[in-house]
Chains A and B, each alone.
Chain A
Amino acid sequence: MTASLGKHAWVLGLLVLFLVLIGLTKLVQPSFSLAGIESLTRAALPFAFATAGMAVVVIVGGIDLSVASMMAVCAVTAAVLMERMAGVPAILIVLAVGLGMGLINGVLIVLTKVPDIVATLAMLFVWEGTALLILNTPGGATADWVEAGIRGSFLIGWFPKALVVLVVGIALVWVPLRRSKLGLSIYATGSDETAAFRSGVPVGRTKIIAYGICGLYCAMGGLSLAALTGIGEPVPGPYLLASVAAVVLGGVVLGGGKGGLLGPIIAVFILRIIRSILTFLSVDPNVTTIIEGVIMVAVVMLGAALTHRGTRK
């Protein structure tokens, strides 16, 4: 009970922090408006999907260093396919490619028993090379409706379409999973692999599926990159470290078994809006990354202190 309260308090705390930061943004840039929130959401899209994927493998007790490379493979695949075929089948193929890459990562880790960090580091280079083989220079094209699909607002005048895509994309996979036996197995495996195994959890299969889901989210991330830019870029973006940062800030314990996806997603938005604020203040760009890092460490440390006090009560 206290654990679940603690978890919710963390997510709630992040949400409050995000709202405070929005208020702060409005303070430093009075013209900041819903259009600003809309472009913020769009910018957050690839980070959010990468973070969701990373969160799932961290919860199962692993880590996937190849997320950015898988996103690059999916982005170039999407851009190459959409030049030649309709958007919907292309998207389905890209999702399958992402799932496939994730499953390969998982199988490799489970079968060879090479530590996750080493196996996925190796796969980082493999997928990076694959992306360059598919498209050795930025190019391709995306369907117009795909680009329009994440731009502007949805139905009511102010709700960003990108947020709809984000929520639907993540929930469609995560919500049914979380409520199934498989979801429970993922948390059990992450908490204590041996205990889970002795309780009859198919540990290997669970891990492979978790990596597969990570790949699937990376496919969504790659698709959102293609939709944002209208092309496919074979060189991986800065999504690996950013996703680890958001996962940690989002309250998922490195080591596994604890945390959810909501916290990390809000953390992504926090990290994005901090960048906006620093831009509005025209802070020296060489200092911005230092400030970003300091804020992150400070929040995580404060959070840890609060959680500690909470559990002692």
Chain B
Amino acid sequence: MKKFLTATAAIALAIPMATAAFADGHKSYTIGVSNTVQGNGWREQMICAMRAQALVEGDVSNLIVAHRNTDSAGQLEDLNNLIEAGVDAIVLNPSNPDALNSALEAAMAKDIVVVAVDAGVTAEGAYILSNNQEQYAYLGAKWLFEQLGGKGDVVYMRGIAGVSADTDRDNGFKRALAEYPDIKVAHEVFTGWQQDQGKQQMFDFLATGIPFDGVWTSGIDNVIVDAFTESGAPLVPIVGADNAGFVQYLTEVDGLQGAAVTNPGSVGGAGIALAVDILNGEAPAEKTVLVDPVLWENATDGGRATITAAQNPNLDPEWPVSVTVPGWTDYTMEQIIACEGPGDS
């Protein structure tokens, strides 16, 4: 029994200890981060943007990142742990707008600044900084329907059923659909925001031989182009997000007409910047800050020029191309790619 305990204690103590805070005239805030989707390019960029921004903010001495695949109950657990860890601010990507209020209210009762990025929370007093998801879907869908001359069948490839961002995007898509009564949805699937799954679904649908005129994707995009080229099917207009791989295809793949709607994961970095501003007493007047998306298309010369300017070969192909949020983030392209936060090196 004794051996059993010493061994367990040894394992637990072998865990690297966190580096101590440093202070050289700067304040030394500890910021907690909570995120519930791991292994997805967008979220990884968000986390790296948070780390990079925390590194360049002189006042942040430590960043505690709780980053795993879990549900709202798991995020509540992480948030409560961050509160117990004594953080000064929490920046989170909420799994749901309503489910986390108990922990967020507990945090704010302890004067911890709460900033939700990417999606909103309903807790009173929390700041929200996000991409406008409804507008994201509307913008892309409208472009696609215009390309098709307002008439035709489209494949509608969504994200994860039941997730807020997917629901918001669905509302935006439906709003565009209502404006074009002759556009029909030929096929609607949930890709689960998984590359392999989305690709297989497109293979399957191409194999059915059912004709369609365009594809709208919720960000699983470059593999859809792959599915067309690999199966030899004629390309149709495809709408995706500003993932590096897809944006590259827009300039390189012959005959591909498409548009990328920006949805920067770097809002995470903006969230850190906002949290530090609030801690330093420079809170914005509004609790909600919306970052509106932009559409990059390759159907016109002007569009192609914009796309070429935004590209960078060093980026992970699954990361969004827009790596910074102008006016918010201060890190360099190299810093976000390095993905190191304070206390990491």
Binds B, one of A85-93, A95-103, A166-174, A296-304: A296-304
A294 touches B11 (CB 8 A): yes
Give which listed residue, A42, A282, A289, contacts B65 with CB less than 8 A.
Answer: A282
Determine if B46 is an interface residue (Cβ-Cβ < 8 Å): no
B66 touches A137 (CB 8 A): no
Contact with B along A262-295 (1 / 0, CB 8 A): 0000000000101111111111111011010011
B70 touches A237 (CB 8 A): yes
A sample of 29 cross-chain residue pairs with beta-carbon separation below 8 angstroms, ordered by A number, consists of: A17-B5, A20-B8, A29-B85, A39-B84, A132-B161, A132-B162, A138-B162, A151-B102, A231-B96, A235-B161, A238-B70, A272-B77, A278-B15, A279-B85, A280-B84, A280-B85, A281-B15, A282-B18, A282-B343, A285-B68, A291-B15, A295-B11, A295-B12, A298-B7, A298-B8, A299-B8, A302-B4, A302-B7, A306-B1
B160 touches A228 (CB 8 A): no
Determine if A36 is an interface residue (Cβ-Cβ < 8 Å): yes
In B79-103, the 8 Å CB interface with A consists of 80-86, 96, 98-102
**Considering only CB atoms, which chain A residue lies closest to B170 in the complex?**
A137
B84 touches A277 (CB 8 A): no
Interface centre among A32, A225, A279 (most CB of B within 10 A): A279
Measured CB to CB, the closest approach of chain B to A12, in angstroms, equals: 9
A contact set with B: CB distance below 8 Å: 9, 13, 16-17, 20-21, 24, 28-29, 31-32, 35-36, 39-40, 42-43, 46, 132, 135-138, 147, 151, 225, 228-231, 233-238, 272, 274-286, 288-289, 291, 294-295, 298-299, 302-303, 306
A275 touches B77 (CB 8 A): yes
**Considering only CB atoms, which chain A residue lies closest to B168 in the complex?**
A137
A31 touches B84 (CB 8 A): yes
B4 touches A225 (CB 8 A): no
Contact with A along B48-90 (1 / 0, CB 8 A): 0000000000000011111111111110111011111110000
B1 touches A13 (CB 8 A): yes
A137 touches B164 (CB 8 A): yes
Measured CB to CB, the closest approach of chain A to B306, in angstroms, equals: 34
A279 touches B162 (CB 8 A): no
**Considering only CB atoms, which chain B residue lies closest to A301 in the complex?**
B7
Measured CB to CB, the closest approach of chain B to A166, in angstroms, equals: 14
A24 touches B96 (CB 8 A): no
A281 touches B18 (CB 8 A): yes
A233 with B99: in contact, given A46-B73, A281-B16, A282-B65 (CB under 8 Å)?
yes
B101 touches A230 (CB 8 A): yes
A282 with B162: in contact, given A39-B84, A151-B102, A306-B1 (CB under 8 Å)?
no
| Across-interface contacts of A276 in B (CB, < 8 A) | 81, 84
Q: SS class of chain A's interface: helix, strand, loop or mixed?
A: helix
Give which listed residue, B81, B101, B161, contacts A136 with CB less than 8 A.
Answer: B161
A138 touches B99 (CB 8 A): yes
A235 with B71: in contact, given A279-B66, A302-B7 (CB under 8 Å)?
yes
**Alpha-carbon distance between A283 and B76 when the two chains are bound, in angstroms:** 19
| Across-interface contacts of B84 in A (CB, < 8 A) | 29, 31-32, 35-36, 39, 276, 280
| Across-interface contacts of B11 in A (CB, < 8 A) | 294-295, 298
B74 touches A279 (CB 8 A): no
**Alpha-carbon distance between A147 and B67 when the two chains are bound, in angstroms:** 26
9 closest A-B pairs by beta carbon, nearest first, are A237-B71, A229-B99, A43-B77, A285-B67, A39-B80, A282-B64, A279-B81, A282-B18, A229-B72
A147 with B162: in contact, given A20-B5, A278-B15, A279-B64 (CB under 8 Å)?
no
**Considering only CB atoms, which chain B residue lies closest to A277 in the complex?**
B12
**Alpha-carbon distance between A282 and B62 when the two chains are bound, in angstroms:** 9
Give which listed residue, A20, A42, A137, A238, contacts B9 with CB less than 8 A.
Answer: A20
A279 touches B78 (CB 8 A): yes
**Alpha-carbon distance between A238 and B276 when the two chains are bound, in angstroms:** 33
B81 touches A281 (CB 8 A): no
Measured CB to CB, the closest approach of chain B to A9, in angstroms, equals: 8
A289 touches B68 (CB 8 A): yes
A279 touches B67 (CB 8 A): no
| Across-interface contacts of A229 in B (CB, < 8 A) | 72-73, 76, 96, 98-100
| Across-interface contacts of A285 in B (CB, < 8 A) | 38, 65-68
Measured CB to CB, the closest approach of chain A to B156, in angstroms, equals: 15
B68 touches A43 (CB 8 A): no
| Across-interface contacts of A46 in B (CB, < 8 A) | 73
Interface centre among B13, B69, B72 (most CB of A within 10 A): B72
